[in-house]
Structure 1
Amino acid sequence: MVHWADYMAEKIIKERGDKEKYVVESGITPSGYVHIGNFREFFTAYIVGHALRDRGKKVRHIHMWDDYDRFRKVPKNIPAEWREHLTKPVREVPDPWGCHDSYAEHFMEKFEEEVRKLGIEVDFLYASELYKSGEYADEIRLALEKRDEIKAVLDKYRERAKQPPLEESWQPVMVYCPKCRKEAEFISWDGEWKVKYRCEHCGEEGETDIREGNVKLRWRVDWPMRWAHFKVDFEPAGKDHLAAGSSYDTGKEISEKVFGWKAPMTLMYEFVGIKGQKGKMSGSRGNVILLSDLYEVLEPGIIRFIYAKTRPNKELKIDLGLGLLNLYDEFDKVERIYFGLEKAKNPEEEEELKRTYELSMPKVPEKLVAQAPFRFLVTLVQMPHLDEEGIIKILQEQGHVPKELSEEDLERIRLRIRLAKNWVEKYAPDDVKFTLLEKLPEVELEPEIREAMLEVSEWLERNKEFTVDKLNNVLFDAAKKRGIPSRKWFKALYNIFIGKDRGPRLAPFLASLDREFVIKRLRLEA
């Protein structure tokens, strides 16, 4: 079974021609926090580029920051006085938090920092710099020359959608007032480089040279212009941009008819959400999960794995609750399959899983790095008597990690310990959390349960060294020979250790505690 990124790479080579170099693009307007939904576009472009590189092709991944877009509305988490900056370029709106040079930079820098941890090669480009440097000047002038052709394309799709045509005064560009930087009214174009404008905000009137960067293409023209300018071969898009008559459809015609470039191939991606959270994430509304939130509980490779294993056209719901434990189990299994330590159901599935792992890892290790089971770490990090070194020792004693650990092994185990602590603090449901009782609680126990507890304590006293499996057998045998139902037996044990009816897997949990403490508690000694 071919991985979806490889399928797309083959399709690009076939349809765009077998070239030495390909360009893939992603783009976001930094009008709010760049969340894990926005990241899907970015990662889809990246992973298809990765698949092209694996075929010996050179790839340039451009991520366009549309930081020259207008500041259209004041988000909920921004002071109301920021209304005075409406219609300025987002790159020129002050940072409300005062830690960056601009509103846009506040969000861009955070995302760029987050992406660096994922080992992704990308060229971050800034629309504000490209416009102001005059890089797009020729294309802006061409759009003004072909204004009627562009309007005809847009009106054709508006008519199909039963919308009125654009006004006769419509232009493919907008103007930023050189004085107050807000959007000004376009008056006329001289057929060369000058555009006349009038600003209703500050009263300024005059001319501006297209090459000075105050004239910007409107979105439906800017996008296809960019495809042509950077010779883009592939760009994924959300379903809103790929619906009939939307910006991709109009962009395709404008790119080919006006700018002379065959529109890039695309791939529709579905939205990303958090399990249990209603509605679409919005950076301006503030109901978002960022990559940095995921970094608190997931290894970088697992973050990539979430996106790599799911076809982009499938909705993605990330579960930060109990489902996160299953995710770690799934990833660890795929990693063992990659290194030949476990088998998949069939050869086709094995091939796809191995490829998914390759595409997920920022750097594929030469051999399997120690996998501390996250599910068990969640138990260990809640034990007050265990520090990091104590946890590592128990992992070794119980055979979860090798006795001899490399620096790479230790680094990964320590990372997982920190991530497990964070998960318990931030996302773990209450029934996963527990506190080890320092004092023996007041409990009434039936005689046969007390007998079984005494038997287990005597066994522990005789056996200073034992395996978790052996302890597990002893626990079950002690209850079975007395006819105690497992649920009732386990409930009694959990209650004397953590004061709850349920808890972590019992044998590994008890084996992780001080042996003398367990013996005393089973004997109901204070």
Structure 2
Amino acid sequence: MSIVTEERDYQHWIDALVEEAINYWGKRVSKIDCSCGLSVSGLQHVGRLRGEITLANTVMQQLRQKGLDSKHYVVRYTSDEWKGKESQLAQFPDPTKAKKYVGRRLVDIPDPQCELGSWVDRYWLDFGPYLDYFSRDTTVVSTNEIYTWPQMHELIRFTIQHRERARKIINKYRVRNPYPKDWFPINVICDACKRINTTTVVSVDLNAYTASYRCDECSHEGTTSIENGKLSWRLEWAALWKILDVGFEPFGKDHATPGGSRDSAKEIAETFYNFKPPVPYANEWVGLIENGVDKGDMGSSDFNGFTPKTWVSVAPGEALRYIYLKNKSMKRITLGLEYIPNYIGQYERAERVYYQIDLPRAPPLEIADIRRSYELANLDPLPEMAPLQVPYLHAVLLTQIIPEENLPDAALEKLTETGIIPKTLTDNQRTSITTRLDRARSWVTSFAPASYRIITLSAPPDGLRDTVPDELRPVFQQLHDSLNPDEWTEEAITTTMRKLTESMSKDTQRGFFEFLYQAFFGTDKGPRISTYFAFTDSLLIRDRVKYLATLPK
């Protein structure tokens, strides 16, 4: 039983969407399958985890909780043509030679690194194997495989037999470039040049399931199996809905424009294939932030973004799910690896709110939204008691002041000594903390801004003591005297510092902390100083503070 929510007027947007889907299909419906489509045209970035994975999978889970059968299909569009954009060509050692692959199916493009079976295998590698961090029980299917299914054969036969009716529907959306009367609704692969975008089908044998064609690129004429091809894309989208019996499908906002691709697929479903199309739901794209600069929307063929593999190397999947579920789908979100501590902080704050450890000053409906978003973000059943939290930045600090060969044991010892974790841990708690330390180390090594990377100086910078203002020397002496080695915890150190600085002006406070950072790191900024003190030998800390209090000789 969830503790969410006491507010009767509150409904999370996911719950509203699930309710909409059930009402759309009828209260007596027993099954609503969810689907999403991904073109493996290049980098499979974390932006694709928003609508296609997190949204669709969460709807599936909630449908199941209501007693309905539901699947989540992840459709890989592998039969689409490879366009050979500059960013795609650049993945090959010789981009000029790679131009010969333009127009071939994605699944037929070789791996640029010559290690895997295809382009699709290469760019699915950092995405597909990591789906379980962000979803549960997904069923991955590829369009080149679906075209071999008997039910797709039958649907294509029907489409070809009634192609004139299909042509009239589609031409309403192709006013500037309508299909001619001799049009066939399929594209097939040229046996000679392997392109799928340059062939024109001239006749078909539906009994043999073959198509005769001519290639406008290499002038080859031949006959091939219709399996070696694909439907035109507007028909293909509707056909996949029918084949997979899709009841709900999110999609990118580019398909949602009036008179656009989604509208045309809807009409094809209703008036040509004669079935009810799935519940639609558009989602905004996700932007990339690098060094504080918005680099635009993440893009697969543009190779703009970072992958789920990278995300899980530095953060839990639930933290990203929380961001996606807390924000409605048409709100633009930007993500940058430099901000990983912030994202994890948002998720763990929601956890404390959910378990009523934190009681924020916020409207009741906002608190309800935080709790429900947290609940939905978690893939596994939530425990009765709040999970043990080790702040991410604490882990970032520990992995820098403790030699790697001493991790995780020395870090666990420090966390225990400072009262952050109990002396006795369960196996799951120890594993969780170890994973956090590994991820923090990965982040600070590869993605952290310079301000998070520290090296403790073996001695204060030359002449630093000479520059300490006279009014701060007694404060540093008081700090030295107040720091009790027998109460060496972050809380005790923070309390001591607060008492010493609370009556200072902002400028004096800034100077006080800058001298501390300079004494230990040689910089004006650094980690939270009380955390650093707590994790560092008390003798070193007190000696260095004493140095700042002492008059130069």
- How far apart are 1:448 and its partner, in Å? 4.4
**TM-score normalised by length of structure 1:** 0.91
Secondary structure at the counterpart of residue 68 of structure 1: coil
Secondary structure at the counterpart of residue 402 of structure 1: coil
Structure-2 separation of matches of 1:479 and 1:48: 51
CA spacing shift, 1:520–1:141, aligned 2, 3 Å: same
Secondary structure at the counterpart of residue 127 of structure 2: helix
Residue 45 of structure 1 pairs with residue 59 of structure 2: no
- How far apart are 1:387 and its partner, in Å? 4.2
Equivalent position of 1:236 in the other structure:
250
- How far apart are 1:10 and its partner, in Å? 0.6
Structure-2 separation of matches of 1:466 and 1:352: 38
Structure-2 separation of matches of 1:128 and 1:510: 59
Equivalent position of 2:72 in the other structure:
61
- How far apart are 1:434 and its partner, in Å? 2.5
Matched to 1:231, the amino acid is D
- In structure 2, list runs of 5 or more residues that go unmatched: 1-9
Matched to 2:47, the amino acid is G
Equivalent position of 1:98 in the other structure:
114
CA spacing shift, 1:504–1:94, aligned 2, 3 Å: closer
CA spacing shift, 1:454–1:180, aligned 2, 3 Å: same
- How far apart are 1:262 and its partner, in Å? 1.0
Match of 2:413 among 388, 393, 398: 393
Equivalent position of 1:186 in the other structure:
201
| Deviations, residues 53-80 of structure 1 (Å, cap 9, x unaligned) | 1211110111111112222225132233
Equivalent position of 1:428 in the other structure:
448
Match of 1:369 among 369, 375, 387: 387
- How far apart are 1:222 and its partner, in Å? 0.6
Structure-1 separation of matches of 2:156 and 2:26: 29
The answer as to whether partners of 1:239 and 1:270 remain within 8 angstroms in 2 is: yes
CA spacing shift, 1:481–1:283, aligned 2, 3 Å: closer
Matched to 2:144, the amino acid is S
- How far apart are 1:45 and its partner, in Å? 1.4
The answer as to whether partners of 1:325 and 1:375 remain within 8 angstroms in 2 is: yes
Equivalent position of 2:180 in the other structure:
167
CA spacing shift, 1:21–1:171, aligned 2, 3 Å: same
Equivalent position of 1:220 in the other structure:
234
The answer as to whether partners of 1:476 and 1:486 remain within 8 angstroms in 2 is: no
Secondary structure at the counterpart of residue 277 of structure 1: strand
Equivalent position of 1:382 in the other structure:
400
Structure-2 separation of matches of 1:317 and 1:138: 44
Alignment size in residue pairs: 519
Query: Aligned-pair RMSD on alpha carbons?
Result: 2.6
- In structure 1, list runs of 5 or more residues that go unmatched: none
Residue 5 of structure 1 pairs with residue 14 of structure 2: yes
Structure-2 separation of matches of 1:265 and 1:480: 57
Structure-1 separation of matches of 2:398 and 2:349: 21
The answer as to whether partners of 1:228 and 1:260 remain within 8 angstroms in 2 is: no
Equivalent position of 1:122 in the other structure:
138
Structure-1 separation of matches of 2:288 and 2:189: 38
Structure-2 separation of matches of 1:23 and 1:397: 51
CA spacing shift, 1:481–1:90, aligned 2, 3 Å: closer
State how 1:83-482 maps to structure 2 within 5 Å: 83-159=99-175, 163-178=176-191, 180-183=193-196, 184-189=199-204, 193-200=209-216, 204-210=220-226, 213-275=227-289, 276-321=293-338, 323-343=339-359, 345-366=362-383, 367-384=385-402, 387-442=407-462, 443=464, 444=466, 445-460=468-483, 463-477=485-499
The answer as to whether partners of 2:190 and 2:215 remain within 8 angstroms in 1 is: yes
Greater shift in the superposed pair: 186-195 or 406-415:
186-195
- How far apart are 1:308 and its partner, in Å? 1.7
The answer as to whether partners of 1:77 and 1:285 remain within 8 angstroms in 2 is: no
Greater shift in the superposed pair: 225-234 or 469-478:
469-478
Match of 1:73 among 58, 70, 84: 84
The answer as to whether partners of 1:449 and 1:479 remain within 8 angstroms in 2 is: no
Matched to 2:453, the amino acid is K
Structure-2 separation of matches of 1:168 and 1:3: 50
- How far apart are 1:140 and its partner, in Å? 1.1
Secondary structure at the counterpart of residue 287 of structure 2: strand
CA spacing shift, 1:383–1:308, aligned 2, 3 Å: same
| Deviations, residues 89-121 of structure 1 (Å, cap 9, x unaligned) | 221222121221111122234321011333421
- How far apart are 1:318 and its partner, in Å? 1.6
Greater shift in the superposed pair: 13-22 or 200-209:
200-209
Matched to 1:241, the amino acid is H
Percent identical pairs in the alignment equals: 26
CA spacing shift, 1:478–1:287, aligned 2, 3 Å: closer
Matched to 2:328, the amino acid is R
State how 1:479-494 maps to structure 2 within 5 Å: 485-494=508-517
| Deviations, residues 4-60 of structure 1 (Å, cap 9, x unaligned) | 211111111101123211111111121212112222232221111122112111101
**TM-score normalised by length of structure 2:** 0.87
